[in-house]
Amino acid sequence: MMKEATVLIVEDEPMTREGLRKALESWGAGKYRFDVKDNGFEALEYIRNHADIELLITDIRMPGMSGLDLVQALKEKKQGGIPPVILISGYAEFEYAQRAIHLGVVEYLLKPVSDCKLIEAVERALADYENRVRIGLMEKIMDPVLIDASRQLGGAGDAVAEAVRYIDEHLPEPLRLKDIADQVHLNPSYFSVLFKEQMGITYSDYVTRRRIQRAKELLVKTKLPIGDIAQKVGYIHVKYFNKMFKEYEHCTPGEYRKQNQTWPEPKNIWKFP
């Protein structure tokens, strides 16, 4: 079971700090852990030792280390990015907002902050973050050969384009070359040559890569057993699926899942050295 994600609140004023925490705990309904720190130095040390910070909410004006200095310190030590940041300030000064934008802060709120505005900002920040994590995950697991093939698809003829659509929609099925050639009303030999010419990849290699790609998506996004995933992408025998997966990804499906697993939802995986 994955550890719950943390929202870290950094605020030197006790009443404001507790007000923020209570408002967010009521909103979060147990979905997040809300930790608090009263200065930037403690917050920096805390974040160094916790890889599950999904959102940082910090005041700007604090003794010793400002909220902006805290964000700057995080960016200088980042590995894979920092959590989204909401800055809170009682000072509506342009240079603060300007530097916040430069540092990539996602929200900038002025005191006094109403519960409604706070929660709206938190929801936007978390939604933006999780969307970025999903996009990053898909970029990470996408097969570069399939990316090149998809670019070729724009210039492919109707027969090859129809074949690709059929393959993608029927991955659990046998997908023999002859059957697909019949589907697009072409001679199998001619279809094979045409597919390679227009897609830059053989028919057999394309089908295998699409199956492995879909398997990777299911491995990192679901809890489905590997045997079920094998069947969903067109492999009757799980041993053969494991063999083909390792041939293309240089690891077993189980190892791949452990390395890239994100369910039940994407979480922050950045950390300090």
Task: Report if residue 270 sits inside a domain.
Answer: no
State the pLDDT at residue 195: 97
Task: Report if residue 15 sits inside a domain.
Answer: yes
State the pLDDT at residue 93: 66
Same domain? 134 vs 177: no
pLDDT tens, 131-143? Answer: 877 888 888 889 9
State the pLDDT at residue 3: 46
Task: Report if residue 56 sits inside a domain.
Answer: yes
Pick 190 or 72 by higher pLDDT: 190
User: Of 139, 155, 170, which residue sits at a domain end?
Assistant: 139
* Contact indicator for 197, 162 with CB cutoff of 8 Å: no
Same domain? 59 vs 155: no
Same domain? 10 vs 135: yes
- Whole-angstrom CA distances from 28 to 4, 23, 34, 167, 235 are 12, 9, 9, 43, 42
Task: Report if residue 266 sits inside a domain.
Answer: no
Q: Is the pLDDT of residue 42 over 80?
A: yes
- Residue-number span of the structural domain to which 135 is assigned: 6-139
Q: Coil, strand or helix: which one is 236?
A: coil
Task: Report if residue 74 sits inside a domain.
Answer: yes
Q: Is the pLDDT of residue 212 over 80?
A: yes
Same domain? 100 vs 177: no
Cα–Cα dist 45/214, whole Å: 40
Q: Which range among 34-38, 110-114, 247-251 shows the weakest confidence by mean pLDDT?
A: 110-114
Average pLDDT over residues 237-250: 97
Cα–Cα dist 108/125, whole Å: 11
> What is the average pLDDT value for the chain, to the nearest integer?
87
Task: Report if residue 160 sits inside a domain.
Answer: yes
pLDDT tens, 77-133? Answer: 755 567 888 988 887 666 777 777 777 777 888 888 899 999 999 998 888 878 877
Q: Is the pLDDT of residue 181 over 90?
A: yes
Average pLDDT over residues 212-221: 94
Q: Which range among 109-113, 144-148, 237-241 shows the weakest confidence by mean pLDDT?
A: 109-113
State the pLDDT at residue 267: 44
Q: Is the pLDDT of residue 264 over 50?
A: no
Q: How many helices (H) and strands (E) are present in the chain, helices listed first? A: 13, 5
Question: What CATH number is associated with residue 48?
Answer: 3.40.50.2300
Q: Is the pLDDT of residue 268 over 50?
A: no
State the pLDDT at residue 207: 98
Task: Report if residue 58 sits inside a domain.
Answer: yes
Same domain? 133 vs 149: no
Same domain? 85 vs 135: yes
Question: What CATH number is associated with residue 176?
Answer: 1.10.10.60
State the pLDDT at residue 83: 82
Rg (CA), the chain: 25
* Contact indicator for 60, 96 with CB cutoff of 8 Å: yes
Same domain? 128 vs 157: no
User: Of 139, 156, 186, which residue sits at a domain end?
Assistant: 139
Q: Is the pLDDT of residue 269 over 70?
A: no
Same domain? 238 vs 253: yes
State the pLDDT at residue 47: 86
Q: Which range among 105-109, 196-200, 219-223 shows the weakest confidence by mean pLDDT?
A: 105-109
User: Of 77, 112, 139, which residue sits at a domain end?
Assistant: 139
**Structural domain count, the chain:** 2
Same domain? 229 vs 191: yes
Task: Report if residue 245 sits inside a domain.
Answer: yes
State the pLDDT at residue 4: 63
How many residues comprise the chain?
A: 273
- List, edge to edge, every strand of the sheet that includes 33-37: 33-37, 6-10, 53-59, 85-89, 107-110
Handedness of CA 200, 205, 211, 217 (dihedral sign): negative
Same domain? 233 vs 215: yes
Q: Is the pLDDT of residue 2 over 50?
A: no
Same domain? 26 vs 132: yes
Same domain? 66 vs 97: yes
Question: According to the per-residue pLDDT averaged within each range, which of 21-30, 64-73, 198-207 is highest?
Answer: 198-207
Cα–Cα dist 71/14, whole Å: 21
